[in-house]
């Protein structure tokens, strides 16, 4: 990290269905990295735990609810962007209420872990694929 660079904490979730597929979401047009596929999640607000942030983001982005007990930490990404450094813990969630709906994304897809590489992802999301393949 260079001088004056800020550390951005963003939390991500791999929702895993009964078929061992993972949910990815496509970033909408007009947003940074538009069109790329990512794991749902978002910024951790001041005073928020990563788990609380993820529960809030899953509700806002996908309209589903889950609990801290259903979130299992799996891996994390540490990526240097031009103006900030991103630290992104990835949690796995297999239990939630509701059906994921794309409220803030262009599209959603359930994908087998081995097929995740077929979808263009932001540089920070890519390293999270290998641990998911190992897990599932």
Q: Is the whole-model pTM more than 0.75?
A: yes
pLDDT attached to residue 54? 98
For the segment 112-128, the average pLDDT, to the nearest whole number, is: 96
Number of C-beta neighbours around residue 126 at 10 A? 14
**pLDDT(5) > 90:** no
> What is the pLDDT confidence band of residue 17, given thresholds at 50, 70 and 90?
very high
Q: Please give the biggest Cα pair distance in the chain.
A: 46
Going along the chain from its start, the domains and CATH numbers come out as: 6-135 (3.90.79.10)
**pLDDT tens-digit readout, 39-93:** 999 999 999 999 999 999 999 999 999 999 999 999 999 999 888 999 999 999 9
b/e sequence 32-66, b meaning 16+ C-beta within 10 Å: eeeebbbbbbbebeeeeebbebbbebbeebbebeb
For the segment 93-116, the average pLDDT, to the nearest whole number, is: 97
Rounded CA-CA distance 23/133 in Å is 14
């Amino acid at each position: 990290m260079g001088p004056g660079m800020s550390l951005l904490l963003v939390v991500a979730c791999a929702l895993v269905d009964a078929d061992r597929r993972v949910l990815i979401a496509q970033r909408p047009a007009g947003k940074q990295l538009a069109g790329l596929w990512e794991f749902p999640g978002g910024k951790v607000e001041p005073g928020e735990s990563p788990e609380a942030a993820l529960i809030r983001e899953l509700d806002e982005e996908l309209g589903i609810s889950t609990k801290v007990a259903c979130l299992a930490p799996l891996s994390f990404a540490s990526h240097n962007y031009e103006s900030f450094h991103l630290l992104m813990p990835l949690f796995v969630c297999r239990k939630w209420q509701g059906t994921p709906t794309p409220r803030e994304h262009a599209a959603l897809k359930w994908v087998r872990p081995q097929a995740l590489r077929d979808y263009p992802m932001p540089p920070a999301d890519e390293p999270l694929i290998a641990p998911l393949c190992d897990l599932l």
